[in-house]
């Protein structure tokens, strides 16, 4: 069992407590929040019998019916509380080391959030909901109510499919998420069960990806005031530079564009199992599109793993470098 991490209440945890209290309608006290595998069946029986006895029902058949209904109700409510508490505990873990602003999470948003997570028992989905809440607490307004509704009706299988598509997608400087056409071959090779029509239908039904005006052209231009193009891929990224600022031009790619809901939920995807191999294969294609004034041989791509803080700084935890001249020599 894992208890709510107390000690000194940091600003993120204090804001979490305030958000939970706002969402569930009562003052939230984290001192006794503990994750359990299942409800205490014996305690539920005792409480249910006590409530039925208080009704002073003398007919045994009716009393037993009331008792069964009361036990069912208490078991359901107990499980809902466990589900909610599991998400709260994991959210506290996600908030460790993060900075949060002073803007309060919208009360209506919080109320809807906690009404949804009460019915989420799967540990993988609880983790996704916890990541979402942590990001919303960090920066309120990051996730719309429509995204909450989409996630509510998303199955584990659908979530895994979405995660796979996001893993192969690229994010530009404006936050647009694109599944590029050249990624299709990698998807077929590694996930043959995700046929194009099946995948498109699934993501369209969930309003996560747009099928209109396919293929869509998305621009990956140089960062304003910088001499490089920065392309995100979750916890991975690609930085394309030249010898001079004028060497790097706008990179345009075609593919399927994520909807606003898809872009919001894409930020929840974990890339811990993603291989650097994918970036190694697509970097030459990006370099070939990134030249300005025909100076393609001057281009260099640095790519590798980063983290949420380094994304804003456009730096890497660990990276590799590939020059166009190296490709040209081959």
Q: Give tens-digit pLDDT for 265-293.
A: 998 887 655 577 888 888 888 888 888 77
pLDDT in tens, 154-211: 988 888 888 888 888 999 989 899 999 888 777 777 777 666 667 777 788 888 988 7
pLDDT in tens, 238-268: 999 988 878 888 899 999 899 999 999 998 8
DSSP 40-97: -HHHHHHHHHHHHHHTT---HHHHHHHHHHHHHHHHHHHHHHHHHHHHHHHHHHHTTT
pLDDT at 35: 44
Sign of the torsion angle spanned by Cα atoms 252, 256, 262, 268: negative
Mean confidence (pLDDT) of the chain? 82
Mean pLDDT of 305-327: 85
CA separation for the pair 247, 151 (Å, rounded): 43
Residue pair 150/265 in contact (Cβ under 8 Å)? The answer is yes
pLDDT at 171: 93
pLDDT in tens, 71-100: 677 777 788 888 998 999 899 989 888 888
Q: Which two tokens stand for residue 326?
A: 């190296």
Mean pLDDT of 110-116: 95
Mean pLDDT of 46-73: 65
Contacts of 176 (CB under 8 A, 6+ apart): 218, 257, 258, 263
pLDDT at 1: 40
Hey, which residues does 216 pair with through a beta bridge? 255
pLDDT band for position 227 (50/70/90)? confident
pLDDT in tens, 135-146: 999 999 999 999
CA separation for the pair 261, 115 (Å, rounded): 20
Helices (H), the chain: 11-24, 41-54, 60-94, 107-117, 123-138, 145-152, 156-167, 184-190, 196-205, 260-266, 276-289, 308-313, 324-329
pLDDT surpasses 60 at 9: no
pLDDT at 247: 82
Would you kindly state where each structural domain of the chain is located, as residue ranges?
11-152, 156-329
Residue pair 259/208 in contact (Cβ under 8 Å)? The answer is yes
CA separation for the pair 206, 204 (Å, rounded): 5
CA separation for the pair 257, 19 (Å, rounded): 33
pLDDT at 36: 47
Predicted TM-score (pTM) of the model is 0.81
pLDDT band for position 321 (50/70/90)? very high
pLDDT at 130: 95
pLDDT at 65: 66
Taking residue 36's Cβ as centre, other Cβ atoms within 10 Å add up to: 13
pLDDT at 37: 40
pLDDT surpasses 90 at 231: yes
């Amino acid at each position: 069992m894992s208890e709510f991490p107390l000690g000194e209440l940091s600003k993120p945890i204090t804001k979490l407590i305030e958000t939970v209290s706002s969402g569930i309608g009562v003052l939230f006290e984290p001192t006794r929040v503990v994750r359990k595998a299942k409800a205490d069946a014996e305690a539920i029986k005792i409480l249910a019998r006590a409530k039925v006895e208080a009704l002073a029902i003398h007919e045994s058949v009716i009393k037993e019916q009331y008792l069964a209904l009361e036990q069912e109700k208490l078991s359901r409510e107990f499980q809902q509380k466990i589900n909610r508490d599991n998400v709260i505990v994991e959210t506290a873990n996600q908030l460790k080391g993060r900075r949060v602003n002073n803007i309060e999470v919208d009360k209506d948003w919080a109320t809807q959030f906690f009404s949804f997570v009460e019915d989420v028992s799967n540990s993988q989905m609880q983790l996704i909901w916890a990541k979402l809440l942590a990001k919303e607490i960090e920066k309120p307004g990051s996730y719309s109510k429509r995204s909450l509704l989409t996630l509510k009706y998303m199955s584990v299988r659908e979530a895994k499919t979405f995660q796979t598509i996001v893993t192969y997608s690229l994010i530009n400087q404006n936050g647009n998420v694109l599944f590029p056409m050249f990624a299709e071959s990698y998807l077929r090779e590694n996930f043959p069960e995700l046929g194009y029509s099946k995948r498109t239908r699934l993501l369209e039904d969930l309003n996560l990806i747009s099928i209109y005006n396919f293929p869509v052209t998305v621009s990956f231009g140089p960062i304003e005031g910088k001499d490089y193009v920065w392309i995100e891929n979750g916890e991975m990224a690609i930085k394309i530079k030249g010898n001079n600022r004028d060497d790097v031009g706008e990179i345009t790619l075609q593919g399927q564009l994520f909807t606003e809901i898809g872009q919001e939920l894409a930020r929840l995807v974990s890339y811990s199992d993603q291989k650097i191999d994918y970036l190694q294969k697509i970097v030459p294609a990006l370099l070939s599109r990134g030249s300005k004034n025909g100076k393609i041989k001057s281009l260099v791509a640095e790519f590798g793993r980063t983290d949420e803080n380094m994304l804003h700084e456009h730096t890497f935890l660990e990276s590799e470098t590939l020059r166009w001249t190296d490709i040209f020599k081959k």
